[in-house]
Structure 1
């Protein structure tokens, strides 16, 4: 039903030209990048062009980033973003002014301004994706009639049996683990460690956004766990018995045993799952 939901949104925007901006939020590994770009294609098929941006390019400089009590950086709270600059750019774009969108360099921890100036054309819709995109702190200056807020997450309807539901969090962890290894070179140990720290932040700062959303979209796919198992199992087996995350690795490995392996070569390049396993049409 994922594609059907995006098509419905595209029709809604086409028929209501008061909507000038679409904000997409969801916890880590919900598929925000693919959803924003795929929605732009659905809009294009309806004769509506879109400009797609990410809040990830608006992080504050690393030296100004908020930190947790243990000294690690807290990227999951809205204060990790340059709220003032973001709001200024949104207001400028929606009023037809020219803006130079930054690109955040995650290695140096600084914004870079190397893009050409961008203008939102009269026939265009602005799409913004990010953990906190639908937060009022990032779009309060935009009138309600001019924006559409979407919250996405893999709300799987599947269960292991009649009594044991499959956790949305586990699906996202598997997605994140595979993506971190393939695209960022992180080990499963690194991912699980960061994931456990991140969970409290999600509970406090991201899940509550569901109440602010105009629509909620399910990005789960019935076949994805079988595909993710192929990639995730060897990564989980690499976690040492001597580490604090070993029990979590065993729990997930036991969970994966309930699914058949599904080869990735049959997965379409436009599938949201490709955002995590690679070779996405939208890369």
Structure 2
């Protein structure tokens, strides 16, 4: 008979025997985040769900207020861009969605900045709380450095939910060990030597950072220049200055240098023939560094 083991390279025998992956502290999170005049209006934690984005979109359809936050201890059918699926061990990461209602003051074409804004917010929040330099791969990947290599540690998915709402989901690997990674090219904050793996601390930092970036952006009508968002994104984007292959909808491809992110959040790719192409949707593959 084997004895229970902890996460330092070993296995555990039950959901609650892994003391280094404790559940989130719901009451403390609510106390620290739901404040008078603040963005966050409600916060719920569920033990497990298929997708927090799907669940929160249903709440949006029922009239949930802006600032609703839904967090899952375990997400069994998380969705990324291009309908990719992923899952992770219970309490090994931060899996949450937020409901935003930017209002008529933000033009529809500026909504493409929401996943990029969220990326900047997550990166700045993690820099403070985890001491980790998080780079952004356009449009929605969160990268950390593990053993000198860029690894994907998380992703962002923004989806329209009715006429006036957007649900933004974030999945971030926190304590995943090398033997738990879904693919060898994945990473986690633990593998990137974060100074803190406390998920309560990290979630509070990320949501506070998101509130700081979202409020001014919405008040400025989604203007990424006036709010400093475009500059901040460009500074943290690992895609810019690199040769990339853009795999476009319909099976077409575009190869060139990623030179800018335009005013609507699209990636500008300069091809060898001197043309510049704005890419609003597709999969980006980094071919080599700048």
Per residue, is there more strand in 1 or in 2?
Answer: 2
Provide the TM-score with structure 1 as the length reference.
Answer: 0.31
Provide the TM-score with structure 2 as the length reference.
Answer: 0.31
